[in-house]
Chains A and B, each alone.
Chain A
Amino acid sequence: GENVEQHPSTLSVQEGDSAVIKCTYSDSASNYFPWYKQELGKRPQLIIDIRSNVGEKKDQRIAVTLNKTAKHFSLHITETQPEDSAVYFCAASNYNQGGKLIFGQGTELSVKP
């Protein structure tokens, strides 16, 4: 089955710097890659996703890149702000198999003012 590895497990940056979180997946059939943000004590919330027919997607300060050949995808946050501090999870699925997301272990991002 699918396995998703996520690095780093913790990341500390200064406000205004960029943050990059990387994930690799094992199943070449995976074709949907969402990223979730989870604040302390809250539920995960989708922040951006990418499908296998796209190499890059951007939404304001957040961007995701996908390299299907290498089976890895990354989240890029520019101009970080203290409110970006949270745990970020990547995930992978084959959307033909119905809602079966396999998550990475998470990255705790801390943005210092």
Chain B
Amino acid sequence: NAGVTQTPKFQVLKTGQSMTLQCAQDMNHEYMSWYRQDPGMGLRLIHYSVGAGITDQGEVPNGYNVSRSTTEDFPLRLLSAAPSQTSVYFCASSSAGLAGETQYFGPGTRLLVL
């Protein structure tokens, strides 16, 4: 199993450009989430999904869109990048256990918006 994979590893964008951060998992996990990590701010939840076709907003959803057409994939879209979106983005997945299940994180995508 590859676990949770993310592409690209690093990306530089200009203000106003759009892009999609890819996330895939091969563990058949129902739950998937996107977090951003900024220095001193910890990890903040952007969007999450409890299954294909179902998504919901997290703590900091503005400027980001998501969709979940398959169990395996959960892409994050930036429609018009802003310097405030410079961050490290982590995707995570977990199974839908009855008592809380381990979230597995991808390796992260470093995004720089100029």
Contact = CB atoms under 8 A, between A and B. Distances in A.
Interface residues of A, number: 25
Nearest to B50: A98
B43 A89 contact: yes
Contacts of B90: 43-44
A9 B39 CA distance: 12
A44 B99 contact: no
Given A43-B90, A101-B33, A95 B100 contact: yes
Instruction: Please classify how large the interface on chain B is, using the bins under 10, 10 to 19, 20 to 34, 35 or more.
Output: 20 to 34
Contacts of B30: 98
A43 B99 contact: no
Contact of A99 (B44, B92, B107, B108): B92
A32 B100 CA distance: 6
A112 interface: no
Nearest to B4: A43
Given A1-B59, A43-B107, A98-B50, A103 B99 contact: no
Interface of A: 1, 6, 9, 31-32, 34, 43-46, 49, 51, 89, 91, 93, 95, 98-106
